[in-house]
Amino acid sequence: MLERTYAFGMAVGAVENVDVDSELLFAAAMLHDIGLAGPRRQVDFTLASARVARDVAEEVGLSTAATETMRTAITMHHTPGLTVDDGPVGYLLSTGAGLDVAGLKSWKLPPQVLATTVRETPRLGFKREFTELWRAEATAVPAGRAQLLRRYGALDLAIKLAPFRD
């Protein structure tokens, strides 16, 4: 999923002529959902993921500005209505994740781009696995984004209807 998020984000960025720091987008894509992987805490997974990103950024010596851009992108990536004006890294991270999870904006990309991305980074039961992780997050953090998107955004259904086979 992480590589697909990056690939889809970059592809939409190319179609929309979004100028983005591709290395920063890659780093954000690799870390954006790490908070979904156990152990569950009473904190929204985006915040947990942003903390891990901060620690990694400090370890590798990333600048303060780049670190904040990455952390903000990760924290905001499931915020409805995010635009490029909110920052290109955040916008393309959100776009790539939304495309991978629910097929959002998949119509902006040529079918061969979608097929190549999925062939190179197979989904391998992604819909089932991600739905389970999302449900666990929603249960653990009832006031978090996962629960909000399950309740009001019908995310379970959107995942099921995403235009990709697993």
pLDDT digits (tens, 9 = 90+) for 106-134: 999 999 999 999 999 999 999 999 999 99
Contact 7, 115 (CB under 8 A): no
Retrieve residue 100's tokens: 């991978």
What is the percentage of the chain residues whose pLDDT exceeds 90? 81
Task: Enumerate the domain spans of the chain.
Answer: 2-161
Q: What pLDDT, on the 0 to 100 scale, is given for residue 40? A: 67
CATH architecture of the region 2-161: Orthogonal Bundle (1.10)
pLDDT digits (tens, 9 = 90+) for 34-78: 999 876 678 899 999 999 999 999 999 999 999 999 999 999 998
The DSSP secondary structure of 71-113, one letter per residue, reads HHHHHHTT-TT--GGG-HHHHHHHHHHHHHHH-TTGGGS-HHH
More confident: 28 or 146: 28
